[in-house]
Amino acid sequence: MTRNLLTGAITVDDLPAATAAFIRAQGAKRGLDGDPLDGVTHGLRTDEDTHERLSSGPRVEHHTTEMLLSPTLLVIAYRQGHDDRYDRVDPAARVSFHRLDQLELVDAPVEKRARTLGAHAHGVLSLASRPVGGPPRRATRHIPTGNAPEAATFRTALAAAVERARADA
């Protein structure tokens, strides 16, 4: 099995309209005040293609993860398939909202690092949090980001925003 990651910086305007609407609707459903996409300072999109050779032929899966950072919130949107249809959101799409003052950046386990290109800690963003409107327990998420300069910039901005949010709390 092979994996290919393509990572790049994004803005809210780079989101497909259906994805932005989905994020806003989920934010309202989970009780967030205001538009969760207002004030976004940094964004990172990772497209991950997985190629697997099966006896019945090749199988290719595509996953897109977008992370959007505001001064108080990290939004993580995840969907499958390609963005060839901007008029609707993948039925399996998910979004989570993480308050920065409750977020912890953690080291990725070795097995998670090994599945990304470069196979080192900077290829995966791992965070522990209790998502807004989610289960009452903290969970750790491992998001493949690759080693592109945009991923490092996002990681640095996220760490600084978490630190500021904790200081202000």
The tens digit of pLDDT for each residue in 27-41 reads 999 999 999 999 999
In angstroms, rounded to a whole number, what is the distance separating the alpha carbons of residues 167 and 150?
26
pTM for this prediction: 0.85
Bridge partners of residue 62, in order along the sequence: 49
Per-residue confidence band for 111, with pLDDT thresholds at 50, 70 and 90: low
Q: Average pLDDT of 15-24?
A: 92
Count the neighbouring beta carbons within 10 Å of the beta carbon of residue 58.
Answer: 8
* CATH code at position 144: 2.30.29
* pLDDT given at position 86: 56
Q: Average pLDDT of 87-111?
A: 84
The first and second tokens of residue 39, run together, are 């004030």
The DSSP line for 6-23 is: EEEE--GGGS-HHHHHHH
Per-residue confidence band for 83, with pLDDT thresholds at 50, 70 and 90: low
Report how many domains make up the chain.
1
Domain residue limits at 28: 2-168
Residues with Cβ within 8 Å of 163's Cβ and at least 6 positions away in sequence, in order, are none
- Return the higher-pLDDT residue of 67 and 92: 67
Q: Average pLDDT of 95-99?
A: 95
